[in-house]
Chain A
Amino acid sequence: MNEVIVALAIGVLTASGTWLLLRPRTYQVVIGLSLLSYAVNLFIVAMGRLRVNAAPIVEAGRGVDPAALADPLPQALVLTAIVISFAMTSLLLVVLLAARGLTGTDHVDGQEDDA
């Protein structure tokens, strides 16, 4: 059941993120990238196999049984990925504001479509 929920969550986030990424407004693109990065972060955790009630660190006195432990590596990876995507999103927001100020529009091409 857990697997289905996680898979659905990743799927919905990816689909919404991709749709937003292809929209013409910079704000939509930023939100789309954020949603996509949430999906990717969930995906990385899932790739370390989903485990409930398993710690990623060896506790004193409980012995070293790999079967009772969650894989710590994807958790470390996802931490790095979160930090990096957070930093990149804030950097993108700055550029977005600069673009809005300089071009006078929030279209990703810096000019409106001739519609």
Chain B
Amino acid sequence: MTSWADHLAIVPVVLPLATGALLLLVDEQRHALKGLISLTSSTLLLAASIGLVQSVDAAGTQVYRLGAWPAPFGIVLVADRLSAVMVLLAAILGTAGMTFALARWHRAGPRFHVLLQYLLVGLNGAFLTGDVFNLFVFFELLLAASYALALHGSGTRRVRASLHYIIINLAASLLFLIGASLLYAVAGTLNMADLAQRASAIAAADRALFEAGAALLGVAFLVKAAMWPLCFWLPGTYAAAAAPVAATFAILSKVGVYAVLRTSLLLSGEDTSASAGFAAAALVYGGLATLTFGVIGVLASQHLTHVAGFSLLVSAGTLLAAIGAGHSAVTAAALYYLVVSTLGVSALYLLIELVERSREPGADVLAVTAEAFGDADQPEPEEEVGIAIPAATAILGVSFAACALVLAGLPPLPGFLAKFSLLSALLAEDTIAASDWAMMLLLTLSGLAATIAMGRAGVRIFWAPHEPIVARVRLIEIAPVALLLALCISLTLQAGTAMRYFHDAAQALHAPRGYIEEVMRPR
């Protein structure tokens, strides 16, 4: 613990923590200064996350022992490939949401930047911690920040949606505590690596209790991951939240997915315990149910923000079912899909606000119902040659199309590669179970549903014959959208590198021995 690089693992937690505290001292009216501090910190965080990904990829899992206490007694932060990439994703979404908010949203209520920084503390801590109880603490931290952020801008709709969101998550947190304390009662430790080690040595009489604890933890995670039937809070809350907040929230449900992935593979991974894969079936069928619900929701949505919310459910369902499948190739494809779909939905949330600004209120309701009643009373648009399309509208249109391509999984954007690799990984299994076929079918259908929903909305927004209102978009607002979509495109161009990284990550996850040894190694 001498060089700076050794402390890289804790930077994603400490940096936003310190920035948040600093921002609290700055007067609420000094928006420019607050924005500047926040932007600087986010840029540093991005740099640190990229550094972390690179160093973890080059040198393997990094264990950061707080206070240099040995592992089962002290608290550890563990950065492996999965954690590092999740931290990077959180930093990207946080920066994008924050930059977007600089245009006007950060003035809509008090302490936007502080809350966003603390959301990042919670997210990064949850991704990096190697201890179940700290996972709880970081979950609470990120949830507390998210409650306040969901309320940002206030208004009846936000308060009503947040009330449900807060109550559900508080109840889930109580389940989390019960699960964690049951695990402690049986195994006598809360360190994840130590738990995994001891899981195989639990007496048969206590095994049921241990599995009950793990299952309760799982339920708490699945509420966050929004698995059907624990997911009804998500579309409403996210639709009510301010655009930059919703865009950052796109990663919140992925925290649940991450926790499920991490703990299920550690606690019931193939080579560690007799409880191997005891929840796999629940994950697969729950994931498929979520996927079905999401697909129906995407098709039935009257509003674009709900399309985005249900797309998050589709993505969560796909991920949970893929995790349940329990093969490292499927997991690798799922991780690629996770990154791509999160970026896509986040960009969509930002875009929706820009698009909504430029058209009549209520036009999207028409998009669904008008089709049901027929378009008979609409006048034929007059033939015009060479209509001048305003630049802003053109940019919005292209971005919207790109979002649609990512979400629907059509080439050439990486949504296609993600789904394709998921399908090919499922097909490459030795025995293809019925649930695998169901998942392949639903994956394809979800693409179709997204294409229909986005196509329908896009036609109404950009090609509708109503009086065009010239969109007013500031550079600082379209830049984050462009950044997110550019990242998607670069994920296509660099697909080989990315998939190699995710394969390594998935292989390490499916052979948790390396993780355990690295954490437990005495120094």
Contact = CB atoms under 8 A, between A and B. Distances in A.
Contacts of A91: 144, 147-148, 166
Contacts of B180: 77
Interface stretch (B59-67, B170-178, B436-444): B170-178
Contacts of B154: 98
A73 B131 CA distance: 13
Interface stretch (A1-9, A42-50, A54-62): A42-50
A108 B164 contact: yes
Interface string B101-137: 0000000000000000000000000000000010001
Interface residues of A, number: 32
A103 B160 contact: yes
Nearest to A92: B166
Interface residues of B, number: 29
A84 B173 CA distance: 10
Given A44-B177, A91-B147, A95-B147, A26 B163 contact: yes
A21 B170 CA distance: 11
B182 A103 contact: no
B181 A33 contact: no
B92 to A, nearest CB: 28
A84 B184 contact: no
Contacts of B160: 99, 102-103, 109-110
Contacts of B164: 108
B282 interface: no
Given A87-B144, A91-B144, A103-B160, A44 B170 contact: no
Contacts of A37: 174
Nearest to B177: A40
Nearest to A98: B159
A88 interface: yes
B181 A47 contact: yes
A102 B156 contact: yes
Contact of A88 (B144, B162, B184): B144
A48 B185 contact: yes
A96 interface: yes
Given A91-B147, A96-B163, A103 B156 contact: yes
A104 B167 CA distance: 19
B140 A77 contact: no
B170 A33 contact: yes
Interface in B145-168: 147-148, 151, 154-156, 159-160, 162-164, 166-167
B140 A84 contact: yes
B181 A80 contact: no
Nearest to A30: B167
Contacts of A70: none
B159 A103 contact: yes
B137 A110 contact: no
A43 B181 CA distance: 8
Interface in B181-199: 181-182, 184-185, 190
A74 B178 CA distance: 12
Given A77-B133, A88-B144, A108 B159 contact: no
A21 to B, nearest CB: 7
A113 to B, nearest CB: 15
A92 B159 CA distance: 11
Given A40-B177, A95-B151, A95-B159, A80 B167 contact: no
Contacts of A26: 163
Nearest to B175: A40
Nearest to A44: B181
B177 A81 contact: yes
B67 to A, nearest CB: 15
Contacts of A80: 133, 137
Given A40-B177, A88-B144, A109-B160, A95 B182 contact: no
25 contacts: A21-B167, A26-B163, A33-B167, A33-B171, A36-B174, A40-B174, A40-B177, A43-B178, A44-B177, A47-B181, A47-B182, A47-B185, A77-B181, A84-B140, A85-B170, A88-B173, A91-B147, A91-B166, A98-B151, A98-B154, A99-B160, A102-B156, A103-B156, A110-B156, A110-B160
Interface of A: 21, 26, 29, 33, 36-37, 40, 43-44, 47-49, 73-74, 77, 80-81, 84-85, 87-88, 91-92, 95-96, 98-99, 102-103, 108-110
Q: Can you list the 3 inter-chain pairs with the closest CB atoms, starting with the nearest?
A: A47-B185, A110-B160, A47-B181
